[in-house]
Amino acid sequence: MAMTTHHARHPREAIGANYSLDAMRAAQAQTWRALEAIAAAITPGMRESEAIALGEDILAHHGMELDWHPLVIRFGPNTLKIFSEKNDGDLVLGEDDIFFIDMGPVFLGHEGDAGATFVTGHDAEMAACAKAAKTLFERVRKIWHDGDVGGIALYEAAAHEAEKLGWELNLEIKGHRVSDYPHRALPPGGQLGTLDDVPGAGLWVLEIQIRHPTRPFGAFYEDLLD
């Protein structure tokens, strides 16, 4: 696969010797295929721990080389938690419930990272929340595509757009760097939401996490800015 030259405009966008934008895109596409397979296999009555074990098997089947961050699956009230927090208990997925998947596998020596929210049953507010997380992501990504907008401004826009949609944005998570593995061996990238500069394509993950204003659940969506 041909290497893609990238001239980092900021030290926080440093890349490794093996970085290829084509490989990054291919790794992200494979990440999404695996995520969709995991989501399809999660059913009501399953515990979070069972879903994670199943998800790890599916990732291995899809050719994951290793995971640069562990597979996270959260049900119901645990969808309010951010990545660094542990699940409360080992919840069972209900017939009318909500869950999200957050995964960071390595494919082709590059770091995939994707997250999305799904629902079971017919709870209209849960379905609306899951849809809103993706809608909000797409609105913010369009802002990035349409002009020279830095990472800080992107998350200011995300908070504003979330409010317009009737949801609360969790600003404890603000996106992060990805690269050829391991990006942590490079100079620290920090959070996207603290980057003054315009984020480069294929280097930053935009994370969106929202919560229902009164009920105990939320939704999560993340993908590569590209």
Higher pLDDT, 69 or 2: 69
CB count in 10 Å sphere of residue 183: 21
Token pair for residue 48?
Answer: 């979070």
**Does 57 have pLDDT greater than 70?**
yes
The number of residues in the chain equals 226
12 inside domain: no
Average pLDDT, integer, range 55-77: 97
List Cβ neighbours of 158 (8 Å cut-off, separation of 6 or more).
Answer: 136, 140, 169, 208
Domain annotation covers residue 4: no
- Domain membership of residue 115 (yes or no) is yes
CATH number at residue 168: 3.90.230.10
Between residues 19 and 2, which one has the greater pLDDT? Answer: 19
Per-residue pLDDT of 104-141, as tens digits, reads: 999 999 999 999 999 999 999 999 999 999 999 999 99
- Do 147 and 122 contact (CB within 8 A), yes or no? no
Residue 148 has pLDDT above 90, yes or no: no
How far apart are alpha carbons 84 and 87 in whole angstroms?
Answer: 10
DSSP of 82-145, one letter per residue?
-TTSPPSS-PBP-SSEEEEEEEEEEETTEE--EEEEEEETT-HHHHHHHHHHHHHHHHHHHHHH
Kindly give the pairing relationship between strand 168-169 and strand 114-120. unpaired
**Considering the chain, what is the average pLDDT of its residues?**
94
Average pLDDT over every residue of 90-106: 98
Q: How confident is the model at residue 6, as a pLDDT?
A: 40
Q: Number of structural domains, the chain?
A: 1
Residue 2 inside a domain? The answer is no
The number of angstroms, rounded, from the C-alpha of 157 to the middle of its chain's C-alpha atoms is: 18
* Domain-located, residue 94: yes
Instruction: Please indicate, yes or no, if residue 11 is contained in any of the structural domains.
Output: no
Residue 7 lies in a domain: no
Domain that holds residue 172: 17-224
Is there a domain that residue 170 lies in?
A: yes
- What is the per-residue pLDDT across 180-190, written as a single tens digit (0 to 9) for each? 999 988 888 89
Confidence band of 9 (pLDDT split at 50, 70, 90): low
Q: Could you give the CA distance from residue 158 to residue 80 in angstroms, rounded to a whole number?
A: 18
